[in-house]
Amino acid sequence: MLNLSNQRVDEALFTHYPLKTLRTLPQPDSGRRLGRWMLALLLIGLCVMFLPWQQNLNGEGTVTALTPQDRPQTIQNAIAGRIERWRIQEGQYVKKGDTMLVISEIKDEYFDPRLPQRLDEQLDAKQGSLEATDAKISALDGQIAALKTGLQVKLASARNKIRQSAFKVTSDSTDLLAERKNYQIALDRLERYEKGYKNGLFSLTDLESRRLKVQQDYAKVIAWENKLNVSRQELVNARLDLNTIQADYQEKIAKALSDRSSAVSYRAEADGEISKIRNKISSVDVRRGLYVVRAPQDGYVVRSLKFGIGETIKEGESIATLQPANPSIAVELYVRAMDVPLIQRGREVRIQFDGWPAIQFSGWPTVAVGTFGGEVAVIDAVSSVNGKYRLLVRPKARPSDQPWPKQLRVGSGVYGWVMLDDVPIWYEIWRQLNGFPPSLKEEPKEEKKA
C-alpha cells in the first residue's frame, strides 16, 4: 500500500508482516539502467556499421566435372543389331574395354558366316584378272614395237623401190632420147638416099633397105616410149605403195594402241574393284569386332536405356549411361548477366553443397561453418537458356578449409557466393536498400585470349 499518511507505520509490523508484492516493484533507477543499455547497444551498432563486409554475388548450380571426358556419357553402338546378351548390371563398376553388350547381325549382306573367305576368293580372282591384263598390256606393247619396226623396214624398202623406179625412168628417158636421135638420123639418111636414087646414085635396093631401117628405128622409138611410160607408172605405183604401207601400219598400230588403252582402262577398273574388295574385307573385320560393345573408360553404369534380349537397336543409338570413375569435380554456378562483368577468373568462391549442413555468413567467410572454397576457372562467353551465365568453379581451399567431400556426386545441388572486395557494413546496407550493384576498387582486367 502507499505511504500517504503522516503517521509512520511501526517497523515491527513490517518485520512481522513482510510485503512481498511491494518489494517486487521496480526501483526508481531502473529507467536509468534501461537507457544505459540502449545507449550501449547503439554504440555497439555504430561500431558494427564500420566493420568490413566482403561483397559477394550469389548463384545456384550443380556439381559437374571440369573436363568433358569426366562427365556422364551415353554408350552408343556403331552398327545396327539385335541384342543377344547383357554382361553388365546397373550400378556396376566397369573398366575400359570390358564387355557391356553383345549384339548380332541384322543386315542380310553380312549373314554369310564365310563372308571373309568369299571376299578373299573375289580378291584372288580380281588379282588374277589384273595379272592377265598386265600380260596383255605387255604383249600389246611388244606388238606395237614390232609394228613400228616393221613400218620402218617397209617404208625403207618402199623408198628404195621409189628410187629404183626413178632411176629406171631416168635411164629409159635417156634411151628414148638416143633412139629418137637415131630415128632422126635414119630419116636424114633416107632423105639423102631418096635424092641419090633420083639422081641415079643409089639403087632401089639400097633405098628400100634405108626405108626398112627407118621403120625399125621408129619401132624402137615407140618401144622405148612404151617402156618409159611403164617405168613412170611403176614410179607412181611405188609412191602409192609407200602411202599404202604407211596407212596400213598406222591402222594396225592405232588398233593395237586402242586395245592397249582398253586393257589399261580395264586394269584401272580392276585396281578400283580390288581396292573396294580390300575395303570391304577391312570393313567386315571391323564390323565383326563391333558386335561386342565395350566400355570406353573406367566408370559406373548408371542406367541401361535398352532392355531385354532380341530387341533391335539402330546404329548410333544410346544403350546405357556411364559415369566415369574419379572425375575431376567442379561446380557450375549460374549468375545474373548484370553480375558477370564484376567476375574474373581466379575469384574466390564459397560453396555450400546440398546434404552438408552449413552456417554461412556471406560477408564474413572466415566465420562460416560447413562451406568449402573454390575459385572461378571458366566464364562462359554466351548466356545459357535461362538467360544467366555459367561459371565453372574448381576446388581451391584455404589453409583453414577442409577439402571437398569425396561423397559428392555429379548433378547434386550447389549454392555459391563469388567473393568480391571489402566494404563497410553501412555501405553494403545502403547499397542493398538502393538496389545498386557491388562496387569494385578498380576496373576488371581483360582476360588474355588463349
Report domain extents, the chain: 52-69+327-434, 114-290
Which distant-in-sequence residues (6+ apart) come within 8 Å of 303 by Cβ?
90, 320, 321
Cα 35 from Cα 162, distance rounded (Å): 149
Contact at 8 Å (CB) between 60 and 83? no
Strand ranges for 194-335 from DSSP E: 292-294, 299-304, 312-313, 318-324, 329-335
Order of strands, edge to edge, in the sheet holding 312-313?
A: 292-294, 99-104, 81-86, 312-313
Contact at 8 Å (CB) between 431 and 439? yes
Q: Does the structural domain 114-290 have CATH classification 1.10.287.2610?
A: yes
3-state SS class at 289: helix
- The packing angle between helices 115-199 and 204-289, to 10°, is 170
Cα 268 from Cα 146, distance rounded (Å): 26
Which distant-in-sequence residues (6+ apart) come within 8 Å of 172 by Cβ?
224, 227, 228, 231
pLDDT tens per residue across span 46-65: 887 777 777 788 889 999 98
Strands 99-104 and 81-86 turn out to be antiparallel
C-alpha cell read off for 427: 555501405
C-alpha cell read off for 34: 534501461
pLDDT tens per residue across span 134-185: 898 889 888 888 888 888 888 888 888 888 888 888 887 887 788 878 878 8
3-state SS class at 405: coil
Q: How many CB atoms lie within 10 A of CB 94?
A: 23
Strands 348-353 and 81-86 turn out to be unpaired
pTM of the entire predicted model: 0.58
Q: How many CB atoms lie within 10 A of CB 440?
A: 13
pLDDT at 148: 85
Instruction: Give the chain's length.
Output: 450
pLDDT at 10: 57
pLDDT at 446: 56
Contact at 8 Å (CB) between 86 and 101? yes
Cα 374 from Cα 350, distance rounded (Å): 6
pLDDT at 1: 47
Contact at 8 Å (CB) between 136 and 263? yes
57: left (phi over 0), alpha (psi -120 to 50) or beta: beta
Residue appearing with cell numbers 626405108: 211
Cα 1 from Cα 9, distance rounded (Å): 11
Which distant-in-sequence residues (6+ apart) come within 8 Å of 140 by Cβ?
256, 259, 260, 263
Cα 71 from Cα 411, distance rounded (Å): 10
Percent composition of the chain: helix, strand, coil (DSSP 3-state, to 5): 50, 20, 30
The domain 52-69+327-434 is classified under which CATH number: 2.40.10.10, 2.40.160.10, 3.30.420.40, 2.40.30.170?
2.40.30.170
pLDDT at 23: 58
Task: Give every residue of the chain whose pLDDT is below 70, as ranges.
Answer: 1-31, 361-364, 366-367, 435-436, 439-450
**Alpha-carbon separation of residue 367 from 46, 192, 360, 371, 401 (angstroms):** 21, 165, 8, 10, 11
Cα 130 from Cα 135, distance rounded (Å): 9
Cα 338 from Cα 437, distance rounded (Å): 8
Contact at 8 Å (CB) between 387 and 345? no
3-state SS class at 423: strand
Which distant-in-sequence residues (6+ apart) come within 8 Å of 325 by Cβ?
93, 297, 298, 299, 300
CA angle 231–235–238, rounded 5-degree value = 135
pLDDT at 289: 85
Contact at 8 Å (CB) between 364 and 352? no
pLDDT at 19: 56
